[in-house]
């Protein structure tokens, strides 16, 4: 698990590597450091990050949540069904979208509650409970969606999931536009960059809240305490059971937001959207320095972890490396991150945890 | 007080008084019932028979936190500290001080305040750490024991129970912890001390209570006895309750 300085340094050197390598490979025709590419990376990390945020809290609290991938899928289906139903019932589009968010978060929270109660009250290991839940949720998501993509959403949903705060058209006839997508075509469209799409902004807001909660509130402090020593937390009177339940509710709720945003992005609900992202999100958390033993880690670390994965994947694609290599590289980085962290402990001579 | 586990009588009609400003040592071989007795006092176990009077009032605890609220603080062998948190966070763990904004809607931890208060609590016991912001896993065993004691004192412990506080400490650190115990006693905090280390016991205890197989076999002023005699009580060779 990389310390934060290491992680930033690693991310920086990755970017430098790809800038140079892509310049060389493409004979200077392709640039890694463009606005468009940076925004693509941001869009790519939003689901990984949202899944990883709740996970960060859960793992710092010495748990694990394997169900977030399928919870995201379930939430995507639920929000699509809710938006469609609300809109068909005559609600205005914004209200229908809010109903979709509510359905996604409530559905997620319910699964989290189920996880948390069984883990905290019935003392079943989190790994087993959330593994079981992920199958159950998978079944429910596929049943609800009839094993097909939920479509028939109002057209306007697309702009919620894809519009950006700023549009920049470079060169002749260009300009800068805010809030709304300018109606342009042809060459102008090709020169237009979307900066800060709304899903990215929403994710940034959730990240900011997560940073605040973990660092500055009693909830965050108790999360570290429970992860450090559940026994100590119990003896000081912290309501450990309730706290653990809340951690899983939080984790499933952020996964719910991820599902909601994917529905907006694709104007459709998908029961298979989340599962492939689960392991990437855990990888981001681990690369970002959260200890799997609990008690250590930060939200910013997870953000850097997600960025490292996204930069790697995007960079390799731009280098025309066959896609399957991405998996091999990301896996290697996860293991290296843990190895570097351990050797750092050896060098500094810090006592090993547990 | 009586505590049974199935057919086993772990604590058999033991009676114990502790007064402000004294250290009472609870002695006995493994399985003598010392830990069970203090767990009954600190709310971990429920006694099958018997009563606890604290400051003249009869009290009952359903959970350890009830005992803590009354001011009965227990310092365990394994310390019950979160090693990944710093000194201030540990002293205030579960009772964090918060700044309130927007009418209490947003509550932010006041770490600066908690750190200052922790420093004061440590200073009162004449404990000085160079750095209060590091996780306490970087502290020595004795220093962590001191943090646990400072926590109990800061929260106004009215009875301090210490279970093997010098175990797993180096010699200089043992001496420091014993000094702390004396200092607390002099400040009027009554202390129940459980220890196997007789020299430590004689260094700080005012009164000794020896348990053997769940029964109290003797109670003596420290000044009136010695290691040799106490060991005989501990192994069951002497027993004041037996008709000679």
In percent, how much of chain B has pLDDT > 70? 98
pLDDT score of B244: 56
Interval B79-133: pLDDT, tens: 679 999 999 999 999 889 999 998 888 999 999 999 999 998 888 877 888 888 8
Range in A184-198, B67-81, B152-166 the model is least confident about? B67-81
Q: How many CA atoms lie within 13 A of A291 on its CB side?
A: 18
Q: Domain boundaries in chain B?
A: 3-82+140-235
Helix, coil or strand: residue A175: strand
Distance CA A244, CA A129 (A): 13
Return the bridge partners of B208, or none.
Answer: B25, B220
Chain B hits for A224, Cβ within 8 Å:
82, 84-85, 89
| Nearest-by-CA chain B residue for A226 | B82
**A283 lies in some domain:** no
Contact B83 A224 (CB under 8 A): no
pLDDT score of A49: 96
Interval A28-53: pLDDT, tens: 888 898 998 999 999 999 999 999 99
Q: What is the mean pLDDT of residues B195-222?
A: 91
**A127 lies in some domain:** yes
pLDDT at A272 over 90: yes
Which residues, including other chains, have CB under 8 Å from residue B44's CB and lie 6 or more apart? Answer: B64
pLDDT score of A1: 43
Min distance B79 CA to chain A CA atoms (Å): 8
- Alpha-carbon distances, residue B31 vs A63, A324, B213, B215 (angstroms): 35, 62, 7, 11
| Nearest-by-CA chain B residue for A349 | B138
Pairing of strands B23-27, B52-54: unpaired
A13 touches chain B (CB under 8 A): no
Distance CA A186, CA A110 (A): 47
**A310 lies in some domain:** no
**A73 lies in some domain:** yes
- Residue from A257, A270, A213 nearest A46 by CA: A257
Interval A212-230: pLDDT, tens: 999 999 999 999 999 999 9
pLDDT at A80 over 80: yes
Range in A158-162, A169-173, A343-347, B137-141 the model is least confident about? A343-347
Pairing of strands B23-27, B207-212: parallel
A20 with A290: CB under 8 angstroms? Answer: no
Contact A229 B82 (CB under 8 A): yes
pLDDT at A59 over 90: yes
Q: What is the residue range of A181's domain? A: 33-274
Helix, coil or strand: residue B92: coil
Interval A102-158: pLDDT, tens: 999 999 999 999 999 999 999 999 999 999 999 999 999 999 999 899 999 999 999
B155 touches chain A (CB under 8 A): no
Average pLDDT taken over every residue of chain B: 88
Contact A238 B93 (CB under 8 A): yes
CB pairs under 8 A between A and B: 71
Stronger pLDDT, B172 or B84, i.e. the higher one: B84
**A3 lies in some domain:** no
B34 touches chain A (CB under 8 A): no
Stronger pLDDT, A69 or B179, i.e. the higher one: A69
pLDDT at A339 over 50: yes
Under the banding of pLDDT at 50, 70 and 90, the label for residue B78 is: low
Mutate to test the interface with B, among A229, A296, A297 (most CBs of B within 10 A): A229
- Alpha-carbon distances, residue A280 vs A44, A229, B204 (angstroms): 11, 28, 58
Write down the residue that tokens 């977030």 correspond to: A68
Chain B hits for A227, Cβ within 8 Å:
84
Query: Residue B31 class from Cβ within 10 Å (0-12 exposed, 13-18 middle, 19+ buried)?
Result: middle
B1 with B50: CB under 8 angstroms? Answer: yes
Distance CA A254, CA A108 (A): 8
Q: How many CB atoms lie within 10 A of CB A183?
A: 7
pLDDT at A251 over 90: yes
Distance CA A306, CA A301 (A): 9
pLDDT at B168 over 80: no
Domain at B3-82+140-235, CATH class: alpha beta
Select from A217, A220, A224 the Cβ nearest to the Cβ of B84.
A224
Distance CA B118, CA B96 (A): 12
Contact A233 B93 (CB under 8 A): yes
Q: How many helices (H) and strands (E) does chain B have?
A: 8, 12
pLDDT at A280 over 80: yes
A296 touches chain B (CB under 8 A): yes
Q: Note the ipTM here.
A: 0.82
Mutate to test the interface with B, among A1, A220, A225 (most CBs of B within 10 A): A225
Distance CA B134, CA B139 (A): 9
Interface of A with B in 215-274 (CB under 8 A): 216-218, 220-222, 224-225, 227-229, 231-233, 235-238
Task: Write the DSSP assignment of A9-32 as a string of letters.
Answer: HHHHHHHHHHHHHHHHHTTTS--S
Average pLDDT taken over every residue of chain A: 91
Pairing of strands B207-212, B215-221: antiparallel
- Residue from B144, B145, B174, B187 nearest B23 by CA: B187
B71 touches chain A (CB under 8 A): no
Interface of A with B in 141-180 (CB under 8 A): none
Q: What is the mean pLDDT of residues A330-339?
A: 88
Quote the distance between the C-alpha of residue A30 and its chain's center.
Answer: 28
| Nearest-by-CA chain A residue for B85 | A225
Rg (CA), chain A: 21
B129 touches chain A (CB under 8 A): no
Contact A218 B65 (CB under 8 A): no
* Domain tally, chain A: 1
Q: How many CB atoms lie within 10 A of CB B91?
A: 26
**A135 lies in some domain:** yes
Distance CA A85, CA A103 (A): 11
pLDDT at B47 over 50: yes
Strand-by-strand arrangement of the A192-197 sheet: A175-178, A164-169, A192-197
Contact A216 B108 (CB under 8 A): yes
- Pair of tokens at residue A232: 């100590």
Q: Which helix or strand (DSSP H or E) is residue A307 part of?
A: helix A299-318
Return the bridge partners of B160, or none.
Answer: B73, B191
Min distance B178 CA to chain A CA atoms (Å): 23
- Alpha-carbon distances, residue A310 vs A72, A98, A135, A200 (angstroms): 19, 29, 27, 14
Mutate to test the interface with B, among A3, A61, A216, A233 (most CBs of B within 10 A): A216
Select from B65, B84, B109 the Cβ nearest to the Cβ of A296.
B84
- Pair of tokens at residue B125: 């016991």
- Pair of tokens at residue A210: 């997560």
**A174 lies in some domain:** yes
By residue count, chain A amounts to: 354
**A171 lies in some domain:** yes
Interface of B with A in 174-193 (CB under 8 A): none
pLDDT score of A347: 59
Contact B83 A350 (CB under 8 A): no
pLDDT score of A351: 45
- Alpha-carbon distances, residue A98 vs A83, A160, A260, B129 (angstroms): 8, 11, 10, 53
B102 touches chain A (CB under 8 A): no
């Amino acid at each position: 698990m990389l310390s934060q300085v290491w992680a930033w340094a690693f991310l920086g050197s990755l970017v430098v590597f790809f800038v140079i390598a892509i310049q060389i490979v493409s004979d200077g025709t392709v640039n890694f450091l463009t606005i468009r590419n940076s925004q693509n990376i941001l869009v790519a990390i939003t689901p990984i990050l949202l899944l990883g945020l709740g996970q960060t809290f859960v793992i710092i609290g010495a748990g694990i949540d394997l169900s977030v991938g399928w919870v995201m899928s379930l939430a995507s289906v639920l929000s699509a069904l809710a938006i469609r139903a609300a809109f068909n019932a005559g609600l205005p589009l914004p209200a229908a979208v809010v109903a979709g968010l509510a359905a996604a978060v409530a559905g997620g929270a319910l699964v989290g509650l189920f996880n948390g109660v069984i883990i905290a009250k019935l003392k079943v290991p989190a790994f087993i409970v959330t593994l079981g839940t992920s199958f159950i949720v998978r079944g429910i998501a596929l049943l609800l969606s009839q094993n097909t993509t939920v479509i028939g959403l109002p057209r306007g949903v697309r702009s919620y999931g894809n519009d950006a705060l700023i549009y920049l058209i470079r060169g002749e006839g260009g300009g800068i536009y805010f809030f709304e997508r300018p109606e342009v075509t042809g060459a102008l469209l090709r020169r237009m960059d979307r900066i800060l799409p709304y899903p990215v902004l929403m994710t940034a807001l959730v990240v900011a809240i997560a940073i605040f909660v973990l660092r500055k509130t009693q909830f965050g402090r108790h999360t570290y305490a429970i992860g450090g020593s559940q026994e100590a937390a119990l003896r000081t009177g912290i309501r450990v059971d309730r706290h653990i339940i809340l951690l899983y509710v939080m984790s499933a709720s952020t996964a719910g937001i991820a599902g909601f945003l994917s529905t907006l992005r694709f104007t459709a609900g998908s029961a298979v959207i989340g599962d492939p992202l689960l392991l990437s999100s855990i990888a981001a958390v681990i690369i970002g320095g959260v200890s799997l033993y609990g008690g250590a880690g930060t939200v910013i670390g997870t953000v850097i972890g997600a960025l490292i994965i996204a930069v790697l994947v995007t960079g390799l694609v731009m280098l025309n490396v066959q896609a399957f290599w991405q998996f091999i590289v990301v896996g290697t980085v996860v293991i290296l991150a843990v190895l570097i962290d351990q050797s750092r402990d050896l060098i500094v001579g810090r006592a090993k945890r547990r | 007080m009586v505590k049974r586990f199935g057919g086993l009588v772990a604590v058999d009609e033991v009676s114990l008084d502790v007064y402000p400003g004294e250290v009472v040592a609870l002695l006995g071989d493994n399985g003598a019932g010392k830990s069970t007795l203090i767990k009954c006092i600190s709310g971990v176990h429920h006694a099958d028979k018997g009563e606890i009077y604290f400051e003249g009032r009869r009290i009952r605890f359903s959970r350890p936190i009830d005992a803590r609220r009354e001011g009965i603080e227990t310092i365990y062998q394994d310390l019950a500290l979160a090693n990944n948190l710093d000194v201030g966070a540990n002293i205030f763990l579960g009772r964090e001080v918060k700044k309130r904004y927007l009418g209490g809607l947003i509550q932010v931890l006041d770490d600066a305040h908690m750190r200052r208060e922790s420093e004061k609590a440590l200073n009162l016991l004449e404990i000085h750490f160079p750095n209060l912001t590091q996780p306490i896993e970087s502290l020595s065993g004795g220093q962590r024991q001191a943090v646990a004691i400072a926590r109990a004192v800061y929260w106004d412990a009215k009875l301090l129970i210490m279970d093997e506080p010098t175990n797993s400490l180096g010699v200089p650190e043992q001496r420091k912890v014993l000094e702390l115990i004396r200092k607390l006693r002099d400040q009027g905090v009554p202390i129940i001390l459980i220890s196997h280390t007789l020299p430590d016991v004689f260094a700080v205890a005012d009164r000794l209570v020896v348990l053997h197989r769940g029964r109290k076999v003797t109670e003596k002023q420290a000044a009136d006895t010695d290691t040799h005699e106490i060991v005989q009580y501990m192994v069951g060779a002497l027993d004041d309750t037996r008709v000679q």
